[in-house]
Amino acid sequence: MARLIRTGGGMAVLRTVRLLLAAELTTALGIGLTEPYVIVLLHDVRGLSLTAATGVLALAAVAGLLGSPFAGALIDRYGGRRMMAAGLALAVAGLPVVAAATGVVPVAAGIAVTALGFAVSIPALVTLLATLTPAHDHRRIYTLQYTVYNIGMATGAALGGLALAHRPLIPLLWAAAALTCLAALGMTVSGGPRATPRPAPAPPGGYRHALADRRLVRLLGAAALLSTVGFGIFSAAPPVFAIAAHDPAALSWVSVANCVAVVAGAPLATRLAGRFSARAALLGTATLWALAWAVCIPTVLGAGLSTRAALTCAAILTGAGELLIAGALPALVDAIAPAPLRGRCHALSSLAQTAGMAAGPLLVTATTATGRPLLLLSAAIALSAAATGLLLEYGGPRRDRTARRRGLTRVRPRAR
C-alpha cells in the first residue's frame, strides 16, 4: 500500500488511507451481518407478512436512491471526511432502532435511516480516497477497497449465519452492526491531516453542469447497464435457475465461487491496473459478464453444462468483471470530474449503479413470470453489448475549456 500512495503525502497520508480501508472493512462486516437476513428478521422474528417485509426492504432501496444526489452536493460542500462520518453516524443511529423496534413504522424508519447513511458514506469514501492518492494509482486503490469490502461482507454473512439457528439472537446482529459502524466512525474521524482545504469556487449549476458533459452521461449509462447485468441480474437469476433445476445447493457454490474469484483475483487485478486503460477494463467487464450469461444458454436449452457447473462458471466470470469495474469506473469518474464537482459525480455513479441493481431483479421477475429464461439471458447479453457501444463512444478525459474559464479545473484538493 505504501507504494500506492508514496507520492501522495507521506506517512500521514499512508496512515489515513489505512484507517479508511480499516473503516471500510468494519463497515462491510456490519453490512454482512445484517443485509442477507433482513427478511428473516422482519418475517420470522417480528412477524411481518412477506409482503410487508419486502415492502420495508424496498424502502431501503428508495432511501438510497433519494439520498445519493443530496450526498454528492454535501460532499462537495463539506468534504469527504465529514460526510463519511455523517453517513456512518446515521447508520449508527438507525441500526439499533431496527434491533429493538417491533412495529412496522419504527422498523421501516430504522432501515431507511441506515440505508440513507450508507448512501452518504459510500460516495464520500470514494471521493476522499481520490483526494488522498495520486491519479495514476486510483484504479489500484479502488480495487483494493472493493476487495476489502467483499472480505468484510463475506465474513459478516458467515458470522450472521450462525445466529439463524437461534432466532432470539437475530436482532443482536443489528446491535453488533451498530458497534462495527461506530468503530468505523472512530477510525474515520481520528486519522489523517487536519489541514484546512483550499477553498474551491462554488460550482455553477451543480448537477446540471456535471450532466452537461456527454462523456459523463455515456459513462453513467454504461455503468447502469453493466450494474443491471453483473449485480442486479446476478443477485436474482441464480436462485431462479437453481430452484427450477431442483438443485438449491448450487447457490452455495455460486456464492463461494464469486467470493473466491474476487479475493483470489485481487492481487492480479491490482498489479495489472496500470497496464491498460480504465475504458479497456470496463470493456473487459462487459465482455466477461456477457460471457457469464452466454455460458448458461446451452444449459437452459437442455444441453451443455449442468446447472450447478454453469452457474459456478458464471459466478467466476462475474467476479472477474467486478474486479475490473471496481477500479476502472471510479477512476474514469475522477478523470472527468472537476474538483469542485467530484462528490456529485461520484454520487451520480453510485446512483447509476444502484438503479441497475434495482432493475436487474425486476427484469428477472418479468422474464420468470413469462416462463422464458432464454429471454433473460439474451437480454443480459444485449445490455452488455449496449454498454460496450456507450464505452466505445466515450471520448476519454479531456480538459474542458469552459470549466477552466469558470474556475472548475481539476485541481486536486487536500483531504477534508
Entry pTM: 0.80
For 250, the grid coordinates are: 448450487
pLDDT, residue 404, reads 41
**Cβ–Cβ under 8 Å, residues 289 and 315:** no
Per-residue pLDDT of the chain (416 residues; tens, 9 = 90+): 555 554 445 677 788 888 999 999 999 999 989 888 888 888 888 888 877 887 787 788 788 888 888 888 899 888 889 999 999 999 999 999 999 988 889 999 999 999 999 989 988 999 899 888 888 888 889 989 999 998 998 888 888 888 877 878 889 999 999 999 999 999 999 865 544 344 455 455 688 888 889 999 999 999 999 999 999 999 888 888 888 888 877 877 888 888 889 989 989 888 888 788 999 999 999 999 999 999 999 999 988 889 999 999 999 999 999 999 999 999 999 898 888 888 899 989 999 998 998 888 889 888 888 888 999 999 999 999 999 999 998 765 544 433 444 444 444 444 44
The domain ranges of the chain are 13-194, 204-416
The 10 Å CB-count burial string (b at 16+, else e) for 28-53 is bbbbbbbbbbbebbbbeebebeeebb
pLDDT, residue 193, reads 53
What whole-number distance in Å separates Cα of residue 38 and Cα of residue 171? 10
| Secondary structure percentages of the chain, helix, strand, coil, to 5 | 85, 0, 15
pLDDT, residue 45, reads 85
pLDDT, residue 203, reads 55
What whole-number distance in Å separates Cα of residue 404 and Cα of residue 402? 5
Place of cell 469506473: 329
What whole-number distance in Å separates Cα of residue 370 and Cα of residue 368? 5
pLDDT, residue 4, reads 52
pLDDT, residue 413, reads 42
CATH classification number, 204-416, choose in 1.20.1250.20, 3.30.1490.20, 3.20.20.80, 1.20.210.10: 1.20.1250.20
What whole-number distance in Å separates Cα of residue 37 and Cα of residue 160? 8
For 153, the grid coordinates are: 461482507
Q: Which residues contact 65 (CB under 8 A, 6 or more apart)?
A: 119, 351, 354, 355, 358
pLDDT, residue 158, reads 84
Cα–Cα distances in angstroms (integers) from residue 289 to residues 163, 228, 240, 295, 306, in the given order: 34, 10, 18, 10, 19
Amino acid at 113: V
Under CATH, which architecture does the 13-194 domain have? Up-down Bundle (1.20)
For 163, the grid coordinates are: 445466529
Nearest to 87 by CA among 118, 115, 128, 129: 118
